[in-house]
Each structure stands twice: as structure tokens, then as C-alpha cells.
Amino acid sequence: MTDGRNSVMETAKVYYPYLDVLKGIAILLMVMGHVIPWTLDKSFIHQPVLSLSGNELYLSLVYKIIYSFHMPLLFFVSGFLFYKPIKRNDKFFQKTLTKRINRILIPYFFTGSLLLVSRGHWGYWFLQCLFFMDLLVAALMLITNKCHLNHKKEFILYSVVGAFLYAFGKVFSSLEDETLGIVVIGRLFMYYPAFVLGFFMNKYMKLKEFFMNRYIVFSSFILYIITFILCGTKIPIIGFISSVLLPLTMIVYLYHLCCNKFKSGGVIAYIGRNSMEIYLLHSFFVMIFKEVGVYMISLNSLVTCVTFQIVYSFVLSVIAITLSILMANFLKGSSILKKLLFGL
């Protein structure tokens, strides 16, 4: 493994077992979140919660919960691991750029090309977003360091950049469909808050202590439920605030849970340590049974529908994850493939 403090897909030099657990949770949910829509293939699962009822709501619930926080959770861990103090004259930005090209861009283009040829779409948007996010925050770190910004001015700087990214995303959001998913820079704002939250939680101990307060954690969970319901509402300002807060509230809750409950990690931490391999290879191993989707649509009970989706997607995800890890270990036997496929 290379320097784990530089990427969500790597294990930290200063080992944080709970971060591997968070990565494991996120990557497992990611695969489950692919199994469900690929099986159902129904547009209504993307509709706001408040616009759904009955069977459509039952079929969408698991998918919506997963997609409300699983990718922001990966960006949160990325931001947490990305922070490190800048030493004078250490060519921080140049080193960051070189590492990101080797660790992220090479697998992005090489494995992405394989997926495009075999599946007809590019995929791996997370790696592209992570590459630009790392470089953006690296630049902000240099500005903060060179200008000797205090905490307040640093917060203002990051907030202004966030506002710019929001406007930027509105302008370039259509490029993803027009380029077969190759250009996804319009997504940067969606995951910037989670990345920055992780970054600041590692940088400032007081912020970490604040979010470890059990009352804050409980409030975050309640707020998650509220924003989950309101997200996508037709009232623009409420919908916007809810969409920003929704993943952050669950991240705070899960961070507290994993810090206190998982001291060693176990299987889920092992999955987290192999998150890069799983992310890149799982699409080749996810099995889709359209007949199961037809059966799901026939279910009219909330409990039955939700339970069936969880069990079905979990089982197929475990199979895909296992095969991904086995294939990755086999491919790593070649130093060339190890570099091209996984950036190692």
C-alpha cells in the first residue's frame, strides 16, 4: 500500500481502524446500491420521497437510504485522510499531483476503458471527482498556509469555494450525459461538504470532540430522518439545505458509532482495506436477475419488500465483493497490471 493518508482507497500510515470500517460500510452499500436499481430498472426510485406512496415507496426506500450517504461517506474518509501539516519548501502540491496521477488517474483511465468496451459506459466517476477534489483542497491548504489565515478566514475561504462549486455544478451538470459519464466535474459540489468535513475533523481536535458529543450525535440522527423526508421537496431553499445536510448528519452518526464500537474492525474493515479493488472490479461481477425485479414489484407489504431487497442485494453484493477481491489478488501478481488497474 502507498501512503494511506492520501486517499480513501488506502490504509493510513497512522492506522485508524474505524476509518477502514467506514470505508467497508460505504463500499458494501455502494455495491448493494447498484444491485437494486440494476434489478428493478424503474425510474420512480429516483423520485423524491414525498412524491411516492404505496408500492413505489416500498421499492425505493432501501435504495434512497443507501444513496443518501454512502458516497459522501467515502469522500468524508478521503478528506479525513488527506489532511497533513504542510512543511516549508516540501513541494506539497507537486507531490500531491504526482501521487494522484499514479494512484487515481492511471486506474481511472485504464480500468474505465475496459468498462467502456465491455459495458458501454465509462463509470468510475468517484475517482475523477476525488482527483480534482484532492488538488482543489491542496491548493486551498497552500493558500491558507501562505497567507497565514486564521480559523475564521479559513472557513470563509472554503465556504466561498463551496458556493463557487455549486454554481459551477449547475453550469456543467449536463456534461456527464453528453460525454458518456467521462466528464463528471459537475458533481464536485455534491461531495465537497463531506470531504471538507472530514478534512477539518482531522485538522481540528475541538471539532472532532464536538461531533463526538452524544447529544450532537443524537440530534444528527433525528435531523437525518427529517432531511431524508424533506430532500427533494418543491420548495427550493428547503430542498437545497436538506440535500446538503442529509449525508453529513448520517456521517456524524456513523463516525461516532464506529469510533466507539469498532476497535479492531474485523470483516467489514477488511472490505474497507480492499475498497479500491472492489470499487474498480465489482461491476464485472454483479449478477442481475430481471425476474427478481418483477417479483419485487409484485410485493405490497413494506416489511416484506424492504427485507427482501436487503437480503437479495446483500447476498449478491457479498458474492461480487468476494470475487472482486480474489480477482484483484490474482491480477496483482503482475506488477504491470497492479500499476495500471489499481495504481499500486
Give the residue extent of every domain in the chain: 4-342
- φ/ψ region of 266 (left if φ > 0, alpha if ψ in -120 to 50, else beta) reads left
Q: What's the confidence (pLDDT) of residue 88?
A: 61
Q: What's the confidence (pLDDT) of residue 311?
A: 93
Q: What's the confidence (pLDDT) of residue 89?
A: 58
CA distances from 61 to 12, 28, 167, 234 (A): 34, 17, 30, 19
CB hemisphere CA count around 249 (13 angstroms): 21
pLDDT one-digit tens code per residue, 205-264: 888 888 888 899 899 999 999 888 887 777 777 777 888 889 999 999 999 888 877 766
CA distance 73 to 194: 7
CA distance 251 to 217: 10
Q: What's the confidence (pLDDT) of residue 91?
A: 79
Q: Please provide the average confidence, as pLDDT, over all residues in the chain.
A: 84
Q: Would you list the DSSP string of 238-287?
A: HHHHHHHHHHHHHHHHHHHHHHHH-SS-THHHHHHHTHHHHHHHGGGT--
**More confident position, 321 or 145:** 321
Mean pLDDT of 258-277: 84
Cβ(75)–Cβ(197) below 8 Å: no
Kindly indicate the confidence band of residue 72, based on its pLDDT and cuts at 50, 70 and 90: very high
Cα dihedral sign for 61, 68, 230, 233? negative
Q: What's the confidence (pLDDT) of residue 265?
A: 66
CA distance 272 to 262: 13
This prediction's pTM: 0.88
Q: What's the confidence (pLDDT) of residue 11?
A: 42
DSSP 60: H
pLDDT one-digit tens code per residue, 7-59: 555 444 567 788 999 999 999 999 999 998 878 767 777 777 877 778 888 88
**More confident position, 88 or 142:** 142
Q: How many CB atoms lie within 10 A of CB 128?
A: 22
Least confident interval from 138-142, 201-205, 242-246: 242-246
DSSP 93: H
5 sits in which H/E element: none
